[in-house]
Amino acid sequence: MKYILLLLLILPSFFLAAQSRTELNLALSAGYNLTQHYGTKDQTGDYKVQTGFRHGFNTGLNLSLPVTGKLDLMYEFLYVTRGSTEKITIVELDGEPLVKPAVMDVKYFMDYVEFPVLIRYEILQKESFSLSVVSGVAMALKVKGDYELDGVIYFPDGNDYTTFELKDKSQLKEVNMFDFSLIYGGELGFKMWSTPMALAYRFTIGWDYLDLPTYPDGGFAPVSLRNQSYSLSLKIPFQIKI
């Protein structure tokens, strides 16, 4: 289904590109990303997950193809940071309840090259600004991963506990190479020092589950989470004659 959605959005571009054009409408963009992982498939009694945010960035190039006076088809080529910090509390090990839950602090950081395909519709046009809504889909290719775990398991020792420290790290090569997302947002167009600019907001929500490691050497099952991000970017449009 996700490939069909991408195909339906990409195909019209060939017809638009075939039209007689003398210039391309491009834009450079850069901004802030606030990302997390959400939505475990199955939080059974084995573990509980408390998620935190990763602060990052996005930057790239945008191409806009006018369809009508108010409707544009947009293609973006972006480098984006995604990921989260997680606190995983494990209450059972090999089917046996732990006397004191094991606690693990985990970092899942992933960077992607992302290819959004978007529809932008202008809903308000004033002399000093314009307002548009944006929606579409995106395919992202993972180019970097960083996983670090720092945890502790408690074992009964008389009236006290013996602690066993857990440490692990990897480049997340076993996690999905591709990630597909839905995108919603808007753009505020304006001029600053006579230069056209736009402030773009995006909410990106992944629909693929990522099987992220907890502590594989200890036999713990991966936790299944999805990418989610909020971004705010500044876009500076320019044109290239062809």
Output the CA–CA distances (angstroms, integers) from residue 118 to 94, 135, 186, 219, 240, in the order listed: 46, 6, 11, 42, 21
**Other CB atoms within 10 A of residue 241 CB:** 7
User: What does CATH list as the number for 2-6+27-241?
Assistant: 2.40.160.20
- Give the global pTM: 0.84
Write b or e for each residue in 152-175: b if 16 or more Cβ atoms lie within 10 A of its Cβ, otherwise e.
ebbeeeeeeeeeeebebeeebeeb
> Which whole-number Å values give the CA distances from 171 to 57, 144, 212, 214, 236, in the listed order?
20, 7, 11, 13, 34
Task: Calculate the CA dihedral of residues 6, 8, 10, 12 and round it to 10 degrees.
Answer: -170
Residues 197-219: tens digit of each pLDDT: 999 999 999 988 998 887 666 56
Query: Model confidence over 84-125: pLDDT tens digits?
Result: 998 888 777 666 677 788 888 999 999 999 999 999 999 999
pLDDT(230) > 80 = yes
State the DSSP H helix or E strand holding residue 18, giving kind and residue range, or none if neither: helix 2-18
Average of per-residue pLDDT values in the chain? 85
